[in-house]
A and B are shown apart, each in its own frame.
Chain A
């Protein structure tokens, strides 16, 4: 038998019995037809299983916690996110979702992905009850590592002010952020978050200031994250123009 990559001459196609050729063609057609009929799609909200404990997740990672935490969050984001879904993530069980986010965060506490997803995606669903639960989760997670997790709480404060129209809640988050962050590289607007929240800026202006601040301090280095945030900013701009009756630019 010839080895891998070795030059080997093959017999003519006529050496292959005809029934094998027909079988191969028919089997290939059947396989493609069968798989085309049963294409996998993004899972439904109801498919989200209960969250495991952080210890179980760490065990499943076999020591590769950083990789597992990131793969798990990518997998989690697929639930209730089908392309034909008008408002993704709104049907998810937020109790389970928060359980998953907490377990993933505990698996790799230095990863910013879980709180990024919590503040930028799951807390931005339009359902006040779900938003409040997610903001509370962010607030609790922030206390464990304020200098690393402040961008999520800053976003939570903005959402509380502009989406929930709950100024006391926004001020509480802002005050917590001011009190617990000690890193001198945190931008001044974040260290004076309460003033920033009380400023008479609209949501778009505040979001632009925040994105600019994050860029200036080098917090955003990933081009995909920058693209995602710029896309969100454009969405916000379109939405505000639409609500004010102006045609989008």
Chain B
């Protein structure tokens, strides 16, 4: 795989672009909003106020991280394509896989930095070990989102379509376990239509990552998942990350620009 100097150069420019864009300000605004929410909750809670603050802030920051990163990746890639920057980059001695992997590496690093920043305000209510696991899981989830956003932005080429695809994938992945559980219940229709619906749900689940399992705010309240469970969940996300990367590389390599 071409993980060499051109790749790292592209990744470095992605990080520079992220630093010079509004992303750091928006991330800081999210942290401030989370702290404001915590302050409000501390005024209205009559019990478990620390748990309420930690869980609400963690859930809010997780959603902010996913949303901000997906928007940033899609806006950056579509803008570069529209400005003909992509053609210019590929006119240089830079292979398509090197460009794609460099972009992905840069966006993954951006997501990891944002996960680290978003973990900081939660230090006030959580044990460092639990928070480290939460932050690591958020970085892994961000990496999957970055890979999905890059794939859809390059494949679809339109901002709105790519945003819809990424958010749809995210919501479906987060709710798929509950959908499967409901579909397999005792009251589910036993007829052909019910069976077909269950097969469809099971088939769809095979093509989605298990984003519902991590990072969960209850880790900050009751302790993070065990090392083995965390490793298993991270491995599942890693498999999906590689799948999205391979699919993106395949599509981008076949594209006539």
List A residues at the B interface (Cβ < 8 Å).
1-4, 8-11, 13, 15-17, 19-21, 23-24, 26-28, 30-32, 34-36, 38-43, 74-75, 77-78, 81-83, 85, 88, 121, 228
Who on chain A is nearest to B241 by CB? A27
B205:A35 contact, CB within 8 angstroms: yes
CA distance A39 to B203 in the complex (A): 11
| Residues of B contacting A13 in the complex (Cβ-Cβ under 8 angstroms) | 254
B206:A85 contact, CB within 8 angstroms: no
A217 to chain B minimum Cβ distance, whole angstroms, is 25
CA distance A77 to B156 in the complex (A): 39
| Residues of B contacting A15 in the complex (Cβ-Cβ under 8 angstroms) | 253-254
List B residues at the A interface (Cβ < 8 Å).
1, 78, 81-82, 86, 97, 154, 156-158, 161, 176-178, 180-182, 184-188, 202, 205-208, 210, 235-236, 239-240, 242-243, 245-247, 249-250, 253-257
| Residues of B contacting A19 in the complex (Cβ-Cβ under 8 angstroms) | 1
B186:A83 contact, CB within 8 angstroms: yes
| Residues of A contacting B188 in the complex (Cβ-Cβ under 8 angstroms) | 83
A4:B156 contact, CB within 8 angstroms: yes
| Residues of B contacting A16 in the complex (Cβ-Cβ under 8 angstroms) | 249-250, 253-254
CA distance A30 to B245 in the complex (A): 14
* With known contacts A23-B246, A27-B239, A81-B186, A10–B255 Cβ distance under 8 A: yes
B181:A78 contact, CB within 8 angstroms: yes
Who on chain A is nearest to B87 by CB? A1
Who on chain A is nearest to B84 by CB? A1
* With known contacts A13-B254, A40-B176, A78–B185 Cβ distance under 8 A: yes
B243:A28 contact, CB within 8 angstroms: yes
B250:A83 contact, CB within 8 angstroms: no
Among A8, A24, A30, A42, contact of B185 (Cβ-Cβ < 8 Å): A42
Who on chain B is nearest to A13 by CB? B254
A32:B161 contact, CB within 8 angstroms: no
Who on chain A is nearest to B86 by CB? A1
A38:B250 contact, CB within 8 angstroms: no
| Residues of A contacting B249 in the complex (Cβ-Cβ under 8 angstroms) | 16, 20, 23-24
